[in-house]
């Protein structure tokens, strides 16, 4: 080879080398740019391509910052297997790296079910960051994993047919169906995508009938993204959903994210999560980030509108994931506002007469240095939420917090497998006993994103037989009350064979109380802490007695529905002895009473007016007596019947004063501490301003009458609502019958305070 040819080849090699190196460096810069813009999926692809192109240049792969960015990107797109791979290499090559990367590695290992290895790195993280309790919590928790699986055989979890190829999560009950968040693409045309993971923006969808939410089984392997191993490698079968799915509201859905929501108990008002975007305008924080905010909307006719931003939102931090209490007096939500304990915390805010209070952080017992998200409040006022800071199986786990007067009673409890898994589990909704419901998860049995699952608790039966202690004969029609954790559960009655069957929960303490007129009340304790049998039989023997049985139900004075969680005290007026029970879902109670003895019965519950009633003497002959008590709750609105006015007048008629004497005055006398608002409404005929004035005058006339009857003026307020709150569709421009208009011409009273 001559000197010229050699020179040409050598120059070509140098050109190829430097052009390849320049291309690789260009790709690295592009990856860093995508990372800084939080486009993590694109960043992962570019970082991996750069590493592939420079595979023989170990110094490039050993870049500490590159490994940090790549591992963090995998973490953000929830690819836990690759996150484990990259963080593992980072810690091996750079053991003096910042302590949070030991936490990220421990979390990735747990999400991949490598709990022993995870425990090791949680311990290292705990040594490096002693003030962060996660290190200690998870290290101790992973010493024995059994407590996460104690109820695993009790629940059946099923994948639902409403799930799509994209994210579906955070269901909410609404009118017999479910409203949920989804990134599905239901139409053609251009679909905007979220840069973070290149998925479509979230909208709200509605499955109108939960009975049609068919579970689907059968899985197939999905191809991985870009040749990289995905964190979840199984998807649901490719078939069309069996349930009808429709867009929830075209007025609420926008081109940005609409996320978790919560409904007021009348179904006519909603609070929902959305990006900082309203009335066609998007706003950003000082650092250029479009945060999440909470908005309310109202249902007018069949459309959602009147979208309003909640007053405690900010452009500088996010608020989202709302959850109203059953009485609509409080709302829990999630925020990363300053002053919290971790990434996102759960807050609570009061709601009173349309006004929102000041948010309060739930404190360190609920919130951790990690993320608390997706709260839900059950019918008993207890809280569920998801967290990656409390010890769990990996990712987000679902936790339960029993609340009393808004405060945590006991400690936060992990609900365990199978509701929780090594992946993200969140967005649970359920009944007060956690017997059935729905939740979200990105576990392996779904597609590569979040999916909605149903669950129901299966029965571990106990057959309880009631017999006569002397004759050994079975006793028919005996009441058997189950008490769990001090609260009445289901009431059952023995059949002709003296038998009832009861479904048991594992790891629980039970008390069974048996009532039968002519017999002493018999109580028996039973524990399922070590229950292994699928079926158990228990016999309870009753002894003859001359005592009687008092049974009753506590109901709402407004809708007559049973009230759970009421403390019912029966006091013997002679010897002052007391018996106490707490009502369950049926609002029921039972007491043993001595004949010819006066008793008093007191019903108490937070935010309810205490009801005290006398129980008259019962006969000498043992018998079964029935009673029923009503309770008023703060915020209750009671419609007054027969409050009529002459046309275009506001002077009370004689028949109206009789109704006030029959209803309002007795309530004010029985409950001397309550304060009420008299509310008057008109139909939509005539102008809105005229109707508002007329309704105010009518409400004022009711208050004037009550004051003349000696009611303390401090206990009364009045307000006219005109035509602003119709109870049907008879608004301006809608043709209605006279009877329909009459429904809107009404007078009510609202319980403002009960103490």
How far is residue 233's CA from residue 125's CA, in Å, rounded to a whole number?
Answer: 30
Average pLDDT over residues 710-727: 92
**b or e along 94-111 (b: 16 or more beta carbons within 10 Å of the residue's beta carbon)?**
eeebeeebbbbbbbbbbb
Confidence of residue 227 (pLDDT cuts 50, 70, 90): very low
Tell me the three state secondary structure of residue 508.
Answer: coil
Tens digits of per-residue pLDDT, 308-341? 999 999 999 999 999 999 999 999 999 999 999 9
pTM: 0.73
Q: How far is CA 432 from the centre of its chain?
A: 11
Average pLDDT over residues 606-629: 85
Give the domains, in start order, of the chain with CATH numbers: 28-148 (1.25.40.10), 155-227+234-457 (2.120.10.30), 460-631 (2.60.40.10), 637-753 (3.30.1330.60)
Q: Check pLDDT > 50 for residue 350.
A: yes
**How far is residue 702 from each of residues 660, 717, 718, 727, measured CA to CA in Å?**
8, 10, 9, 21
How far is residue 165's CA from residue 237's CA, in Å, rounded to a whole number?
Answer: 10
User: For position 56, what pLDDT does the model report?
Assistant: 57
Q: Are 648 and 664 in contact (CB under 8 A)?
A: no
Average pLDDT over residues 694-717: 93
Average pLDDT over residues 234-246: 53
How far is residue 290's CA from residue 256's CA, in Å, rounded to a whole number?
Answer: 10
Q: Are 271 and 299 in contact (CB under 8 A)?
A: no
Q: What percent of the chain has pLDDT over 70?
A: 88
Average pLDDT over residues 38-66: 79
User: For position 485, what pLDDT does the model report?
Assistant: 79
Sign of CA dihedral 447, 450, 451, 454: positive
User: For position 445, what pLDDT does the model report?
Assistant: 63
User: For position 740, what pLDDT does the model report?
Assistant: 86
How far is residue 517's CA from residue 348's CA, in Å, rounded to a whole number?
Answer: 47
Q: Are 168 and 159 in contact (CB under 8 A)?
A: no
Tens digits of per-residue pLDDT, 638-666? 988 877 666 667 778 777 888 899 999 99
- Please, what is the end-to-end C-alpha distance for the chain in angstroms? 105
Confidence of residue 726 (pLDDT cuts 50, 70, 90): confident
- 42 contact partners, CB below 8 Å, separation of at least 6: 34, 195, 198
Of 600, 701, 729, 581, give the one whose Cα is nearest residue 645.
Answer: 701
Tens digits of per-residue pLDDT, 146-205? 889 987 888 999 999 899 888 899 999 999 999 999 988 755 444 444 454 456 788 999
Lowest mean pLDDT among 118-122, 132-136, 242-246, 674-678: 242-246
Tell me the three state secondary structure of residue 661.
Answer: helix
Confidence of residue 307 (pLDDT cuts 50, 70, 90): very high
Return the H-helix or E-strand segment holding 122: helix 115-128
Lowest mean pLDDT among 105-109, 273-277, 348-352, 399-403: 273-277
Sign of CA dihedral 314, 317, 321, 324: negative
How far is residue 139's CA from residue 115's CA, in Å, rounded to a whole number?
Answer: 10
Of 245, 231, 259, give the one whose Cα is nearest residue 427.
Answer: 259
DSSP strands (E only) in 276-352: 277-278, 281-282, 292-300, 303-309, 319-324, 330-335, 345-352
Q: Are 386 and 426 in contact (CB under 8 A)?
A: yes
Tens digits of per-residue pLDDT, 375-416? 999 998 999 999 999 999 999 999 999 998 788 989 999 999
Tell me the three state secondary structure of residue 632.
Answer: coil
Q: What angle do CA 394, 395, 401 make, to 5 degrees?
A: 90
Confidence of residue 220 (pLDDT cuts 50, 70, 90): very low
Half-sphere exposure (CA, 13 Å, Cβ side) for 693? Answer: 6
Of 652, 702, 641, 705, give the one whose Cα is nearest residue 677.
Answer: 702
User: For position 23, what pLDDT does the model report?
Assistant: 64
Q: How many DSSP H helices and E strands does the chain contain?
A: 12, 47
User: For position 181, what pLDDT does the model report?
Assistant: 94
Return the H-helix or E-strand segment holding 708: helix 688-708
Tell me the three state secondary structure of residue 377.
Answer: strand
């Amino acid at each position: 080879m001559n000197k010229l040819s050699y020179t040409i080849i050598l120059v070509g090699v140098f050109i190829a080398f430097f052009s390849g190196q320049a291309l690789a460096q260009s790709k690295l810069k592009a990856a860093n740019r995508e990372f800084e813009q939080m486009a993590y999926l694109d960043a992962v692809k570019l970082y991996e391509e750069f590493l592939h192109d420079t595979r023989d240049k170990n110094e490039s792969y050993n870049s500490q910052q590159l490994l940090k960015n790549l591992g963090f990107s995998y973490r953000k797109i929830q690819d836990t297997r690759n996150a484990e791979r990259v963080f593992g290499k980072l810690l091996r090559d750079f053991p003096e790296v910042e302590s949070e990367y030991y936490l990220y590695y421990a979390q990735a290992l747990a999400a991949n079910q490598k709990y022993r290895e995870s425990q090791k790195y949680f311990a290292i993280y705990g040594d490096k960051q002693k003030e962060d309790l996660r290190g200690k919590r998870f290290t101790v928790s992973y010493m024995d994993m059994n407590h996460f699986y104690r109820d695993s055989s009790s629940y059946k979890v099923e994948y639902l047919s409403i799930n799509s190829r994209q994210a579906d999560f955070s269901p909410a009950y609404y009118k017999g169906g479910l409203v949920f968040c989804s990134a599905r693409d239901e139409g053609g045309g251009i679909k905007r995508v979220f840069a973070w993971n290149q998925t479509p923006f979230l909208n709200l969808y509605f499955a109108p009938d939960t009975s049609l939410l068919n579970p689907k089984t059968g899985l197939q392997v999905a191809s991985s993204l870009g040749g990289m191993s995905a964190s979840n490698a199984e998807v649901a079968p490719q078939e069309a959903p069996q349930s009808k799915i429709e867009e929830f509201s075209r007025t609420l859905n926008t081109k940005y994210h609409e996320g978790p929501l919560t409904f007021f108990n009348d179904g006519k008002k909603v609070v929902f999560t959305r990006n900082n975007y309203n009335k066609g305008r998007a706003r950003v924080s000082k650092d250029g980030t479009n945060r999440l905010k909470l908005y309310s909307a109202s249902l007018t006719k069949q459309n959602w509108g009147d979208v309003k931003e909640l007053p405690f939102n900010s452009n500088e931090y996010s608020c989202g994931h709302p959850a109203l209490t059953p009485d609509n007096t409080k709302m829990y939500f999630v925020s990363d506002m300053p002053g919290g304990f971790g990434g996102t915390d759960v807050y609570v805010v009061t709601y009173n007469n349309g006004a929102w209070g000041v948010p309060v952080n739930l404190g360190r017992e609920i919130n951790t240095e990690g993320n608390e998200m997706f709260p839900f409040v059950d019918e008993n006022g207890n809280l569920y939420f998801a967290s990656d800071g409390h010890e769990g199986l990996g990712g987000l786990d679902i936790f339960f917090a029993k609340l009393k007067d808004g405060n945590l009673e006991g400690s936060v409890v992990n609900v365990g497998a199978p509701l929780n898994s090594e992946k993200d589990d969140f967005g649970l909704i359920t009944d007060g006993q956690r017997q059935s419901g729905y939740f979200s998860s990105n576990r392996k049995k779904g597609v590569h994103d979040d999916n909605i699952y149903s669950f129901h608790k299966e029965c571990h039966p106990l057959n309880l037989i009631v017999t006569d202690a002397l004759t050994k004969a079975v006793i028919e029609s005996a009441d058997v009350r189950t008490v769990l954790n001090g609260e009445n559960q289901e009431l059952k009655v023995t059949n002709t064979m003296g038998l009832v069957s009861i479904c048991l929960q594992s790891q629980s303490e039970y008390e069974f109380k048996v009532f039968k007129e002519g017999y002493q009340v018999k109580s028996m304790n039973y524990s399922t802490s070590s229950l292994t049998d699928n079926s158990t039989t228990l016999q309870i023997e009753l002894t003859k007695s001359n005592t009687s049985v008092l049974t009753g139900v506590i109901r709402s004075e407004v809708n007559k529905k049973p009230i759970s969680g009421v403390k019912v005290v029966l006091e013997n007026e002679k010897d002052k002895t007391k018996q106490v029970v707490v009502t369950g879902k049926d609002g029921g109670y039972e007491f043993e009473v001595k004949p010819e003895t006066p008793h008093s019965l007191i019903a108490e519950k937070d935010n309810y007016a205490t009801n005290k009633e006398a129980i008259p003497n019962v006969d000498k002959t043992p018998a079964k007596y029935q009673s029923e008590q009503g309770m008023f709750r703060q915020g209750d609105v009671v419609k007054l019947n027969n409050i009529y006015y002459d046309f275009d007048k506001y002077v009370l008629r004689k028949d109206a004063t009789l109704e006030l004497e029959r209803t309002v005055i007795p309530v004010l006398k029985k409950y001397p501490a309550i304060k009420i608002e008299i509310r008057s409404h008109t139909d939509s005929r005539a102008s809105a301003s005229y109707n508002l004035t007329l309704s105010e005058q009518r409400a004022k006339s009711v208050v004037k009458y009550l004051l003349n009857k000696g009611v303390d003026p401090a206990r009364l307020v009045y307000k006219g609502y005109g035509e602003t709150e119709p109870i049907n569709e008879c608004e301006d421009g809608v043709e209605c019958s006279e009877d329909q208009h009459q429904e809107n011409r009404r007078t009510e009273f609202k319980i403002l305070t009960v103490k």
